[in-house]
Structure 1
Amino acid sequence: MKLLGVGSPFDPTNRFQTSSILPPVVLACTRLLIACYIFAALFYRIARSAVINGSHETRNSFSYFTNLTYWGLACYFAVAAVHTLVYAFSGRAPLGKWPKVLQFLHSLLYTTIITFPFLVTVVYWVILAPDESPFGTRYSAWSNISFHTLNSVFAIFEVIIPRTESPPWIHIPFLILILVGYLGVAYITRATKHFYTYSFLDPGKKGSGMVAAYVFGIAVAICAVFVIIRLIIWLRLFLCEKVFGLKGMFSSKARGGRGDGGEGEHESLTEKELP
Protein backbone atom coordinates (compact mmCIF):
# COMPACT_ATOMS: atom_id res chain seq x y z
CA MET A 1 0.00 0.00 0.00
CA LYS A 2 3.02 2.30 0.34
CA LEU A 3 3.11 2.46 -3.46
CA LEU A 4 -0.39 3.96 -3.31
CA GLY A 5 0.70 6.67 -0.89
CA VAL A 6 -0.50 4.94 2.27
CA GLY A 7 2.34 4.75 4.77
CA SER A 8 2.52 2.96 8.09
CA PRO A 9 1.51 4.56 10.34
CA PHE A 10 -0.99 6.49 8.25
CA ASP A 11 -0.89 10.27 8.70
CA PRO A 12 1.21 10.10 11.92
CA THR A 13 0.87 13.81 12.77
CA ASN A 14 -2.84 14.04 11.86
CA ARG A 15 -2.41 16.32 8.90
CA PHE A 16 -5.96 15.58 7.70
CA GLN A 17 -7.38 16.81 11.02
CA THR A 18 -5.14 19.79 11.78
CA SER A 19 -4.23 23.19 10.42
CA SER A 20 -1.27 25.51 10.80
CA ILE A 21 -3.54 28.45 11.65
CA LEU A 22 -6.84 27.03 12.97
CA PRO A 23 -7.39 25.00 16.16
CA PRO A 24 -8.92 21.55 15.46
CA VAL A 25 -12.33 22.55 16.85
CA VAL A 26 -12.51 25.62 14.59
CA LEU A 27 -11.37 23.58 11.59
CA ALA A 28 -14.01 20.94 12.36
CA CYS A 29 -16.79 23.52 12.74
CA THR A 30 -15.81 25.25 9.49
CA ARG A 31 -15.85 21.96 7.63
CA LEU A 32 -19.21 21.13 9.19
CA LEU A 33 -20.62 24.51 8.13
CA ILE A 34 -19.44 23.95 4.55
CA ALA A 35 -20.95 20.43 4.55
CA CYS A 36 -24.26 21.82 5.81
CA TYR A 37 -24.37 24.42 3.02
CA ILE A 38 -23.59 21.85 0.33
CA PHE A 39 -26.19 19.37 1.62
CA ALA A 40 -28.73 22.20 1.96
CA ALA A 41 -28.13 23.19 -1.67
CA LEU A 42 -28.48 19.60 -2.85
CA PHE A 43 -31.65 18.89 -0.87
CA TYR A 44 -33.19 22.22 -1.85
CA ARG A 45 -32.77 21.29 -5.51
CA ILE A 46 -34.33 17.90 -4.81
CA ALA A 47 -37.31 19.52 -3.05
CA ARG A 48 -37.71 22.13 -5.78
CA SER A 49 -37.65 19.46 -8.46
CA ALA A 50 -40.32 17.46 -6.61
CA VAL A 51 -42.61 20.50 -6.53
CA ILE A 52 -41.97 21.87 -10.02
CA ASN A 53 -41.46 18.86 -12.31
CA GLY A 54 -42.35 15.75 -10.33
CA SER A 55 -38.68 15.04 -9.50
CA HIS A 56 -37.76 14.70 -13.18
CA GLU A 57 -34.66 16.84 -12.64
CA THR A 58 -33.68 14.80 -9.59
CA ARG A 59 -33.96 11.50 -11.46
CA ASN A 60 -31.51 12.80 -14.04
CA SER A 61 -29.18 14.58 -11.60
CA PHE A 62 -26.76 11.70 -10.99
CA SER A 63 -25.98 11.62 -14.70
CA TYR A 64 -24.15 14.95 -14.37
CA PHE A 65 -20.52 15.11 -13.33
CA THR A 66 -21.17 18.46 -11.64
CA ASN A 67 -23.68 16.90 -9.27
CA LEU A 68 -21.54 13.84 -8.59
CA THR A 69 -18.58 16.01 -7.61
CA TYR A 70 -20.84 18.19 -5.43
CA TRP A 71 -22.04 15.10 -3.55
CA GLY A 72 -18.39 14.11 -3.20
CA LEU A 73 -17.62 17.49 -1.65
CA ALA A 74 -20.56 17.17 0.75
CA CYS A 75 -19.57 13.69 1.89
CA TYR A 76 -15.90 14.59 2.29
CA PHE A 77 -16.58 17.70 4.35
CA ALA A 78 -19.08 15.86 6.54
CA VAL A 79 -16.70 12.96 7.22
CA ALA A 80 -13.72 15.28 7.65
CA ALA A 81 -15.68 17.38 10.16
CA VAL A 82 -16.55 14.30 12.23
CA HIS A 83 -12.97 13.01 12.13
CA THR A 84 -11.61 16.41 13.14
CA LEU A 85 -14.08 16.73 16.01
CA VAL A 86 -13.17 13.26 17.28
CA TYR A 87 -9.49 14.18 17.09
CA ALA A 88 -10.07 17.53 18.80
CA PHE A 89 -11.78 15.95 21.82
CA SER A 90 -9.89 12.66 22.05
CA GLY A 91 -6.46 13.33 20.58
CA ARG A 92 -6.85 10.37 18.21
CA ALA A 93 -8.21 10.34 14.67
CA PRO A 94 -10.46 7.48 13.46
CA LEU A 95 -8.44 7.31 10.23
CA GLY A 96 -5.48 5.82 12.07
CA LYS A 97 -7.45 2.66 12.91
CA TRP A 98 -9.00 2.14 9.49
CA PRO A 99 -7.87 -0.69 7.15
CA LYS A 100 -5.24 0.39 4.65
CA VAL A 101 -7.63 0.19 1.73
CA LEU A 102 -10.01 2.66 3.41
CA GLN A 103 -7.12 4.96 4.25
CA PHE A 104 -6.14 4.93 0.60
CA LEU A 105 -9.72 5.64 -0.48
CA HIS A 106 -9.95 8.54 1.95
CA SER A 107 -6.72 9.95 0.57
CA LEU A 108 -8.00 9.51 -2.99
CA LEU A 109 -11.32 11.15 -2.06
CA TYR A 110 -9.35 14.12 -0.76
CA THR A 111 -7.50 14.32 -4.07
CA THR A 112 -10.77 14.29 -6.02
CA ILE A 113 -12.31 17.10 -3.99
CA ILE A 114 -9.28 19.34 -4.50
CA THR A 115 -9.08 18.72 -8.26
CA PHE A 116 -12.47 17.90 -9.83
CA PRO A 117 -14.25 21.08 -8.61
CA PHE A 118 -11.75 23.24 -10.52
CA LEU A 119 -12.29 21.13 -13.64
CA VAL A 120 -16.06 21.54 -13.27
CA THR A 121 -15.76 25.30 -12.82
CA VAL A 122 -13.49 25.80 -15.83
CA VAL A 123 -15.51 23.55 -18.15
CA TYR A 124 -18.80 25.19 -17.20
CA TRP A 125 -17.79 28.84 -17.43
CA VAL A 126 -15.54 28.41 -20.48
CA ILE A 127 -17.47 25.85 -22.56
CA LEU A 128 -21.08 25.62 -21.36
CA ALA A 129 -22.04 28.99 -19.88
CA PRO A 130 -21.67 30.97 -23.14
CA ASP A 131 -24.52 28.90 -24.64
CA GLU A 132 -26.76 29.34 -21.59
CA SER A 133 -28.13 32.14 -19.43
CA PRO A 134 -26.42 31.34 -16.13
CA PHE A 135 -27.91 34.42 -14.43
CA GLY A 136 -31.24 34.46 -16.25
CA THR A 137 -33.29 33.93 -13.09
CA ARG A 138 -32.63 34.29 -9.38
CA TYR A 139 -32.65 30.52 -8.98
CA SER A 140 -30.29 29.85 -11.90
CA ALA A 141 -27.90 32.52 -10.62
CA TRP A 142 -27.83 30.97 -7.13
CA SER A 143 -27.55 27.44 -8.55
CA ASN A 144 -24.69 28.25 -10.90
CA ILE A 145 -22.79 30.20 -8.26
CA SER A 146 -23.24 27.38 -5.73
CA PHE A 147 -22.46 24.46 -8.04
CA HIS A 148 -19.99 26.03 -10.45
CA THR A 149 -18.17 28.65 -8.36
CA LEU A 150 -18.47 27.93 -4.64
CA ASN A 151 -17.45 24.34 -5.35
CA SER A 152 -13.97 25.64 -6.20
CA VAL A 153 -14.00 27.98 -3.19
CA PHE A 154 -14.63 25.00 -0.94
CA ALA A 155 -11.84 23.09 -2.68
CA ILE A 156 -9.44 26.02 -2.20
CA PHE A 157 -10.23 25.93 1.52
CA GLU A 158 -9.05 22.31 1.70
CA VAL A 159 -5.95 23.11 -0.33
CA ILE A 160 -4.87 26.08 1.79
CA ILE A 161 -6.11 25.60 5.37
CA PRO A 162 -5.40 21.99 6.52
CA ARG A 163 -1.86 20.63 6.93
CA THR A 164 -2.39 17.93 4.30
CA GLU A 165 0.57 16.96 2.15
CA SER A 166 0.65 17.04 -1.65
CA PRO A 167 -1.33 14.14 -3.15
CA PRO A 168 0.86 11.31 -4.46
CA TRP A 169 1.50 11.08 -8.21
CA ILE A 170 -0.09 7.62 -8.27
CA HIS A 171 -3.49 9.30 -7.88
CA ILE A 172 -3.36 10.68 -11.44
CA PRO A 173 -4.28 7.34 -13.11
CA PHE A 174 -7.18 6.97 -10.68
CA LEU A 175 -8.47 10.46 -11.55
CA ILE A 176 -8.36 9.58 -15.23
CA LEU A 177 -10.10 6.25 -14.56
CA ILE A 178 -12.87 8.10 -12.73
CA LEU A 179 -13.30 10.42 -15.71
CA VAL A 180 -13.37 7.43 -18.08
CA GLY A 181 -15.98 5.84 -15.85
CA TYR A 182 -18.06 9.00 -16.00
CA LEU A 183 -17.80 8.99 -19.78
CA GLY A 184 -19.45 5.58 -19.66
CA VAL A 185 -22.20 6.99 -17.43
CA ALA A 186 -22.79 9.83 -19.89
CA TYR A 187 -23.26 7.49 -22.85
CA ILE A 188 -25.35 5.01 -20.84
CA THR A 189 -27.56 8.00 -20.01
CA ARG A 190 -27.79 8.80 -23.72
CA ALA A 191 -28.74 5.19 -24.52
CA THR A 192 -31.32 4.84 -21.74
CA LYS A 193 -32.70 8.36 -21.27
CA HIS A 194 -32.04 9.75 -24.74
CA PHE A 195 -30.18 12.94 -23.88
CA TYR A 196 -26.58 14.06 -23.64
CA THR A 197 -25.55 15.38 -20.25
CA TYR A 198 -23.16 17.86 -21.86
CA SER A 199 -23.39 19.24 -25.38
CA PHE A 200 -19.68 18.71 -26.13
CA LEU A 201 -20.27 14.93 -25.84
CA ASP A 202 -22.80 14.95 -28.68
CA PRO A 203 -21.11 13.82 -31.92
CA GLY A 204 -24.22 14.90 -33.83
CA LYS A 205 -23.54 18.52 -32.92
CA LYS A 206 -19.79 18.62 -32.49
CA GLY A 207 -18.63 15.77 -34.71
CA SER A 208 -16.76 12.69 -33.54
CA GLY A 209 -13.38 14.37 -33.94
CA MET A 210 -14.35 17.31 -31.73
CA VAL A 211 -15.86 15.03 -29.10
CA ALA A 212 -12.60 13.06 -28.99
CA ALA A 213 -10.68 16.34 -28.73
CA TYR A 214 -12.85 17.50 -25.82
CA VAL A 215 -12.42 14.18 -24.02
CA PHE A 216 -8.65 14.20 -24.49
CA GLY A 217 -8.50 17.87 -23.51
CA ILE A 218 -10.35 17.22 -20.26
CA ALA A 219 -7.98 14.35 -19.44
CA VAL A 220 -5.02 16.68 -19.99
CA ALA A 221 -6.77 19.40 -17.98
CA ILE A 222 -7.21 17.21 -14.90
CA CYS A 223 -3.50 16.33 -15.03
CA ALA A 224 -2.66 20.04 -15.24
CA VAL A 225 -4.99 20.83 -12.34
CA PHE A 226 -3.37 18.06 -10.29
CA VAL A 227 0.11 19.47 -10.90
CA ILE A 228 -0.98 23.02 -10.06
CA ILE A 229 -2.70 21.92 -6.85
CA ARG A 230 0.33 19.86 -5.88
CA LEU A 231 2.56 22.90 -6.35
CA ILE A 232 0.23 25.12 -4.31
CA ILE A 233 0.24 22.61 -1.45
CA TRP A 234 4.03 22.34 -1.67
CA LEU A 235 4.24 26.14 -1.44
CA ARG A 236 1.86 26.20 1.55
CA LEU A 237 3.94 23.55 3.34
CA PHE A 238 7.18 25.36 2.55
CA LEU A 239 5.93 28.76 3.75
CA CYS A 240 4.11 27.51 6.84
CA GLU A 241 6.54 24.88 8.06
CA LYS A 242 9.92 25.93 6.70
CA VAL A 243 9.71 29.73 6.51
CA PHE A 244 7.34 30.63 9.35
CA GLY A 245 7.91 27.55 11.51
CA LEU A 246 4.21 26.81 11.99
CA LYS A 247 4.22 23.19 13.14
CA GLY A 248 0.44 23.05 13.44
CA MET A 249 -2.26 23.45 16.05
CA PHE A 250 -2.92 20.08 17.68
CA SER A 251 -5.49 18.66 20.07
CA SER A 252 -4.86 19.30 23.75
CA LYS A 253 -5.82 15.65 24.28
CA ALA A 254 -2.90 14.38 22.21
CA ARG A 255 -0.52 12.37 24.38
CA GLY A 256 1.70 14.83 26.24
CA GLY A 257 0.65 17.74 24.08
CA ARG A 258 -0.52 21.23 24.96
CA GLY A 259 -2.65 21.62 21.88
CA ASP A 260 -0.47 24.30 20.33
CA GLY A 261 2.01 22.09 18.47
CA GLY A 262 4.86 23.24 20.68
CA GLU A 263 5.17 20.09 22.75
CA GLY A 264 3.90 16.57 22.91
CA GLU A 265 3.84 13.53 20.69
CA HIS A 266 3.72 15.47 17.43
CA GLU A 267 6.81 17.47 18.27
CA SER A 268 8.94 14.34 18.52
CA LEU A 269 7.80 12.80 15.23
CA THR A 270 10.08 13.07 12.24
CA GLU A 271 8.15 14.68 9.40
CA LYS A 272 8.62 13.55 5.83
CA GLU A 273 10.68 16.02 3.85
CA LEU A 274 8.77 18.35 1.59
CA PRO A 275 8.40 17.01 -1.95
Structure 2
Amino acid sequence: MALQAFKFGTGPWDPTHRFETSWLLSPWALFFCRALISLYAFTTLLFVLAWQCARAATGCEASRDTFSYFTHLTYWGLAFYFLASATHTLTYARSGVPLLDRFPRPLQALHSAFYTTIVVYPFIVTIVYWARLYSGTWFAEVFAGWSNVSQHALNSAFALFELLVPRTGTPPPVHMLWLVLLLALYLALAYVTKASKDFYPYDFLDPKEQHGLVAAYVFGIAVGCLIIFGVVWSIIWLRKYVTETKLGKTGKFAKKDHPANAAGDVEVATDKPQE
Protein backbone atom coordinates (compact mmCIF):
# COMPACT_ATOMS: atom_id res chain seq x y z
CA MET A 1 0.00 0.00 0.00
CA ALA A 2 2.84 2.40 0.85
CA LEU A 3 4.34 1.90 -2.61
CA GLN A 4 0.98 2.74 -4.23
CA ALA A 5 0.30 5.82 -2.09
CA PHE A 6 1.77 8.31 -4.57
CA LYS A 7 0.67 6.61 -7.80
CA PHE A 8 -2.22 8.04 -9.77
CA GLY A 9 -2.93 5.06 -12.01
CA THR A 10 -2.48 4.58 -15.73
CA GLY A 11 -5.85 3.14 -16.78
CA PRO A 12 -8.76 5.15 -18.21
CA TRP A 13 -10.22 7.63 -15.74
CA ASP A 14 -13.84 6.96 -14.80
CA PRO A 15 -14.92 5.84 -18.32
CA THR A 16 -18.65 5.71 -17.50
CA HIS A 17 -18.69 8.94 -15.46
CA ARG A 18 -19.52 7.38 -12.11
CA PHE A 19 -18.69 10.57 -10.21
CA GLU A 20 -21.25 12.57 -12.19
CA THR A 21 -24.09 10.10 -12.68
CA SER A 22 -26.64 8.21 -10.61
CA TRP A 23 -28.54 4.96 -10.96
CA LEU A 24 -31.63 6.78 -9.63
CA LEU A 25 -31.47 10.46 -10.63
CA SER A 26 -30.83 12.17 -13.94
CA PRO A 27 -27.62 14.24 -14.17
CA TRP A 28 -29.65 17.45 -13.84
CA ALA A 29 -31.45 16.16 -10.74
CA LEU A 30 -28.16 14.98 -9.23
CA PHE A 31 -26.66 18.41 -9.90
CA PHE A 32 -29.60 20.10 -8.19
CA CYS A 33 -29.35 17.88 -5.09
CA ARG A 34 -25.60 18.38 -4.75
CA ALA A 35 -25.87 22.13 -5.30
CA LEU A 36 -28.66 22.37 -2.70
CA ILE A 37 -26.59 20.45 -0.12
CA SER A 38 -23.59 22.69 -0.83
CA LEU A 39 -25.74 25.81 -0.44
CA TYR A 40 -27.13 24.56 2.87
CA ALA A 41 -23.67 23.65 4.21
CA PHE A 42 -22.14 27.01 3.27
CA THR A 43 -25.16 28.87 4.67
CA THR A 44 -24.80 26.98 7.95
CA LEU A 45 -21.07 27.65 8.23
CA LEU A 46 -21.30 31.35 7.41
CA PHE A 47 -24.34 31.91 9.61
CA VAL A 48 -22.61 30.21 12.56
CA LEU A 49 -19.54 32.41 12.08
CA ALA A 50 -21.66 35.57 11.87
CA TRP A 51 -23.85 34.60 14.83
CA GLN A 52 -20.85 33.95 17.06
CA CYS A 53 -19.23 37.22 16.04
CA ALA A 54 -22.40 39.10 16.90
CA ARG A 55 -23.56 37.23 19.99
CA ALA A 56 -20.64 35.44 21.69
CA ALA A 57 -19.06 37.13 24.68
CA THR A 58 -15.62 36.93 23.07
CA GLY A 59 -16.88 38.21 19.73
CA CYS A 60 -15.19 36.95 16.58
CA GLU A 61 -12.57 35.12 18.62
CA ALA A 62 -15.10 32.32 19.02
CA SER A 63 -15.59 32.21 15.26
CA ARG A 64 -11.85 32.02 14.64
CA ASP A 65 -11.60 29.18 17.15
CA THR A 66 -14.01 27.04 15.11
CA PHE A 67 -11.22 26.36 12.60
CA SER A 68 -9.46 24.33 15.29
CA TYR A 69 -12.32 21.80 15.47
CA PHE A 70 -12.44 18.66 13.35
CA THR A 71 -16.21 19.02 13.15
CA HIS A 72 -16.04 22.40 11.45
CA LEU A 73 -13.15 21.46 9.19
CA THR A 74 -14.95 18.37 7.90
CA TYR A 75 -18.13 20.40 7.41
CA TRP A 76 -16.17 22.89 5.29
CA GLY A 77 -14.92 19.85 3.40
CA LEU A 78 -18.50 18.71 2.79
CA ALA A 79 -19.50 22.16 1.55
CA PHE A 80 -16.62 22.39 -0.89
CA TYR A 81 -16.97 18.78 -2.05
CA PHE A 82 -20.63 19.24 -2.93
CA LEU A 83 -19.78 22.51 -4.67
CA ALA A 84 -17.09 20.76 -6.74
CA SER A 85 -19.19 17.68 -7.46
CA ALA A 86 -22.17 19.86 -8.43
CA THR A 87 -19.93 21.75 -10.85
CA HIS A 88 -18.64 18.54 -12.43
CA THR A 89 -22.19 17.16 -12.66
CA LEU A 90 -23.46 20.38 -14.23
CA THR A 91 -20.77 20.39 -16.92
CA TYR A 92 -21.51 16.73 -17.62
CA ALA A 93 -25.27 17.32 -17.85
CA ARG A 94 -24.73 20.20 -20.30
CA SER A 95 -22.08 18.75 -22.59
CA GLY A 96 -21.68 15.05 -21.83
CA VAL A 97 -18.08 15.69 -20.74
CA PRO A 98 -17.53 16.67 -17.09
CA LEU A 99 -14.99 19.30 -16.14
CA LEU A 100 -13.28 16.62 -14.03
CA ASP A 101 -12.35 14.70 -17.20
CA ARG A 102 -10.32 17.71 -18.39
CA PHE A 103 -8.25 17.86 -15.20
CA PRO A 104 -4.72 16.41 -15.02
CA ARG A 105 -4.58 12.92 -13.55
CA PRO A 106 -3.23 14.01 -10.11
CA LEU A 107 -6.25 16.28 -9.58
CA GLN A 108 -8.59 13.48 -10.64
CA ALA A 109 -6.96 11.16 -8.10
CA LEU A 110 -7.28 13.87 -5.44
CA HIS A 111 -10.99 14.22 -6.24
CA SER A 112 -11.37 10.48 -5.69
CA ALA A 113 -9.57 10.77 -2.34
CA PHE A 114 -11.71 13.83 -1.50
CA TYR A 115 -14.81 11.71 -2.10
CA THR A 116 -13.52 9.05 0.27
CA THR A 117 -12.99 11.58 3.06
CA ILE A 118 -16.53 12.94 2.80
CA VAL A 119 -18.11 9.47 3.04
CA VAL A 120 -15.94 8.46 6.03
CA TYR A 121 -15.14 11.45 8.27
CA PRO A 122 -18.74 12.67 8.83
CA PHE A 123 -19.63 9.35 10.45
CA ILE A 124 -16.64 9.69 12.81
CA VAL A 125 -17.80 13.20 13.74
CA THR A 126 -21.37 12.05 14.38
CA ILE A 127 -20.38 9.00 16.44
CA VAL A 128 -17.78 10.80 18.57
CA TYR A 129 -20.02 13.81 19.22
CA TRP A 130 -23.20 12.00 20.26
CA ALA A 131 -21.40 9.17 22.08
CA ARG A 132 -18.63 11.15 23.82
CA LEU A 133 -19.13 14.93 23.68
CA TYR A 134 -22.91 15.44 23.90
CA SER A 135 -23.92 16.23 27.49
CA GLY A 136 -27.23 14.40 27.28
CA THR A 137 -29.29 17.56 27.78
CA TRP A 138 -30.98 19.09 24.75
CA PHE A 139 -29.95 22.59 23.79
CA ALA A 140 -31.78 25.48 25.44
CA GLU A 141 -31.39 27.77 22.43
CA VAL A 142 -32.84 27.09 18.99
CA PHE A 143 -29.59 28.22 17.37
CA ALA A 144 -27.51 25.76 19.39
CA GLY A 145 -29.87 22.90 18.56
CA TRP A 146 -30.00 23.73 14.85
CA SER A 147 -26.24 24.25 14.46
CA ASN A 148 -25.39 21.04 16.28
CA VAL A 149 -27.93 18.95 14.37
CA SER A 150 -26.70 20.47 11.10
CA GLN A 151 -23.03 19.75 11.82
CA HIS A 152 -23.29 16.54 13.85
CA ALA A 153 -26.26 14.75 12.26
CA LEU A 154 -27.05 16.15 8.82
CA ASN A 155 -23.36 15.80 7.93
CA SER A 156 -23.79 12.01 8.02
CA ALA A 157 -27.05 12.29 6.08
CA PHE A 158 -25.17 14.15 3.34
CA ALA A 159 -22.44 11.48 3.35
CA LEU A 160 -25.10 8.76 3.14
CA PHE A 161 -26.58 10.50 0.09
CA GLU A 162 -23.20 10.22 -1.66
CA LEU A 163 -22.94 6.58 -0.68
CA LEU A 164 -26.35 5.53 -1.98
CA VAL A 165 -27.42 7.83 -4.82
CA PRO A 166 -24.47 8.40 -7.21
CA ARG A 167 -22.80 5.57 -9.14
CA THR A 168 -19.40 6.04 -7.51
CA GLY A 169 -17.29 2.91 -7.26
CA THR A 170 -15.58 1.39 -4.26
CA PRO A 171 -12.62 3.50 -3.07
CA PRO A 172 -9.15 1.93 -3.41
CA PRO A 173 -7.67 0.51 -0.18
CA VAL A 174 -4.73 2.93 -0.40
CA HIS A 175 -7.14 5.67 0.70
CA MET A 176 -7.03 4.17 4.19
CA LEU A 177 -3.46 5.42 4.50
CA TRP A 178 -4.47 8.98 3.59
CA LEU A 179 -7.46 8.92 5.94
CA VAL A 180 -5.25 8.02 8.89
CA LEU A 181 -2.57 10.52 7.82
CA LEU A 182 -5.11 13.36 7.71
CA LEU A 183 -6.32 12.39 11.18
CA ALA A 184 -2.71 12.52 12.39
CA LEU A 185 -2.31 15.99 10.86
CA TYR A 186 -5.45 17.12 12.66
CA LEU A 187 -4.03 15.77 15.92
CA ALA A 188 -0.98 17.96 15.33
CA LEU A 189 -3.28 20.95 14.70
CA ALA A 190 -5.06 20.29 18.00
CA TYR A 191 -1.80 20.55 19.92
CA VAL A 192 -0.73 23.60 17.93
CA THR A 193 -4.03 25.14 19.04
CA LYS A 194 -3.17 24.37 22.65
CA ALA A 195 0.28 25.94 22.25
CA SER A 196 -0.97 29.05 20.44
CA LYS A 197 -4.42 29.63 21.99
CA ASP A 198 -4.14 27.71 25.24
CA PHE A 199 -7.11 25.37 24.82
CA TYR A 200 -7.74 21.87 23.56
CA PRO A 201 -10.45 21.60 20.90
CA TYR A 202 -11.58 18.35 22.56
CA ASP A 203 -11.14 17.51 26.23
CA PHE A 204 -10.16 13.90 25.52
CA LEU A 205 -6.90 15.20 24.00
CA ASP A 206 -5.83 16.82 27.28
CA PRO A 207 -3.14 14.58 28.87
CA LYS A 208 -3.48 16.36 32.24
CA GLU A 209 -7.10 15.26 32.55
CA GLN A 210 -7.13 12.02 30.58
CA HIS A 211 -3.58 10.82 31.29
CA GLY A 212 -2.94 7.56 29.42
CA LEU A 213 -6.45 7.54 27.96
CA VAL A 214 -5.36 10.11 25.36
CA ALA A 215 -3.44 7.41 23.48
CA ALA A 216 -6.43 5.09 23.76
CA TYR A 217 -8.77 7.75 22.33
CA VAL A 218 -6.39 8.56 19.47
CA PHE A 219 -5.77 4.92 18.62
CA GLY A 220 -9.46 4.09 18.96
CA ILE A 221 -10.52 6.86 16.56
CA ALA A 222 -7.88 5.73 14.03
CA VAL A 223 -9.09 2.13 14.23
CA GLY A 224 -12.69 3.31 14.06
CA CYS A 225 -11.83 5.26 10.91
CA LEU A 226 -10.56 2.09 9.24
CA ILE A 227 -13.63 0.15 10.35
CA ILE A 228 -15.91 2.86 8.95
CA PHE A 229 -13.92 2.75 5.70
CA GLY A 230 -14.62 -0.98 5.51
CA VAL A 231 -18.33 -0.43 6.16
CA VAL A 232 -18.46 2.35 3.56
CA TRP A 233 -16.64 0.17 1.01
CA SER A 234 -19.14 -2.63 1.66
CA ILE A 235 -22.15 -0.31 1.32
CA ILE A 236 -20.89 0.98 -2.04
CA TRP A 237 -20.19 -2.57 -3.25
CA LEU A 238 -23.65 -3.70 -2.13
CA ARG A 239 -25.32 -0.69 -3.76
CA LYS A 240 -23.59 -1.43 -7.05
CA TYR A 241 -24.44 -5.14 -6.82
CA VAL A 242 -28.12 -4.52 -6.11
CA THR A 243 -28.70 -1.64 -8.52
CA GLU A 244 -26.49 -2.75 -11.42
CA THR A 245 -26.30 -6.54 -11.24
CA LYS A 246 -29.71 -7.37 -9.78
CA LEU A 247 -31.86 -4.48 -10.99
CA GLY A 248 -29.97 -3.71 -14.21
CA LYS A 249 -29.85 0.03 -13.47
CA THR A 250 -26.49 0.87 -15.04
CA GLY A 251 -27.04 4.61 -14.80
CA LYS A 252 -28.83 7.67 -16.14
CA PHE A 253 -26.56 9.51 -18.58
CA ALA A 254 -26.54 12.93 -20.20
CA LYS A 255 -28.27 13.20 -23.57
CA LYS A 256 -24.99 14.17 -25.25
CA ASP A 257 -23.19 11.19 -23.71
CA HIS A 258 -23.37 7.91 -25.55
CA PRO A 259 -21.48 5.31 -23.48
CA ALA A 260 -20.79 2.22 -25.52
CA ASN A 261 -22.99 -0.44 -23.97
CA ALA A 262 -22.53 0.62 -20.35
CA ALA A 263 -23.89 -2.69 -19.08
CA GLY A 264 -21.06 -4.50 -20.82
CA ASP A 265 -18.38 -1.96 -20.04
CA VAL A 266 -15.34 -3.47 -18.36
CA GLU A 267 -15.38 -0.86 -15.60
CA VAL A 268 -19.02 -1.59 -14.81
CA ALA A 269 -18.76 -5.33 -15.06
CA THR A 270 -15.61 -5.90 -13.05
CA ASP A 271 -16.10 -3.26 -10.35
CA LYS A 272 -12.66 -1.86 -11.04
CA PRO A 273 -11.50 0.36 -8.15
CA GLN A 274 -11.24 4.05 -8.84
CA GLU A 275 -7.67 5.32 -9.17
Query: TM-score normalized by structure 1?
Result: 0.92
| 1:168–1:125 Cα change, 3 Å | same
Alpha-carbon contact 2:117-2:179 (below 8 Å) kept:
yes
Q: 5+ unaligned residues in a row in structure 1: which ranges?
A: 258-262
Q: How far did residue 134 of structure 1 move? A: 4.7
Aligned to 2:265: 269
Distance 1:107 1:17 in 2: 12
Aligned to 1:110: 115
Cα deviations by residue, 1:212-266 (Å, 9 ceiling, x for unpaired): 0000000000000000000000000000110001110000011xx3xxxxx7564
Q: Determine if the alignment matches structure 1 residue 36 to structure 2 residue 33.
A: no
Cα deviations by residue, 1:49-69 (Å, 9 ceiling, x for unpaired): 221232111111110000000
Q: How far did residue 8 of structure 1 move? A: 2.7
Residues 45-124 of structure 1 aligned to structure 2 (within 5 Å):
45-53=48-56, 54-124=59-129
Cα deviations by residue, 1:143-183 (Å, 9 ceiling, x for unpaired): 11000000000000000000000110000010000000000
Greater relative CO (CA pairs within 8 A, separation 6+): 2
Alpha-carbon contact 2:74-2:122 (below 8 Å) kept:
yes
Aligned to 1:214: 217
Alpha-carbon contact 1:134-1:140 (below 8 Å) kept:
no
Residues 180-195 of structure 1 aligned to structure 2 (within 5 Å):
180-195=184-199
Alpha-carbon contact 2:4-2:174 (below 8 Å) kept:
no
Q: How far did residue 268 of structure 1 move? A: 6.2
Alpha-carbon contact 2:53-2:61 (below 8 Å) kept:
yes
Cα deviations by residue, 1:185-233 (Å, 9 ceiling, x for unpaired): 00000000000000100111111x1000000000000000000000000
Alpha-carbon contact 2:169-2:237 (below 8 Å) kept:
yes
List structure 1 runs of 4+ shifted beyond 6 angstroms: none
Distance 2:82 2:9 in 1: 21
Alpha-carbon contact 2:23-2:167 (below 8 Å) kept:
yes
After superposition, the CA RMSD in angstroms is 1.8
Corresponding residue pairs, total: 266
Residues 165-184 of structure 1 aligned to structure 2 (within 5 Å):
165-184=169-188
Alpha-carbon contact 1:115-1:229 (below 8 Å) kept:
yes
Distance 2:189 2:4 in 1: 31
Alpha-carbon contact 2:164-2:239 (below 8 Å) kept:
yes
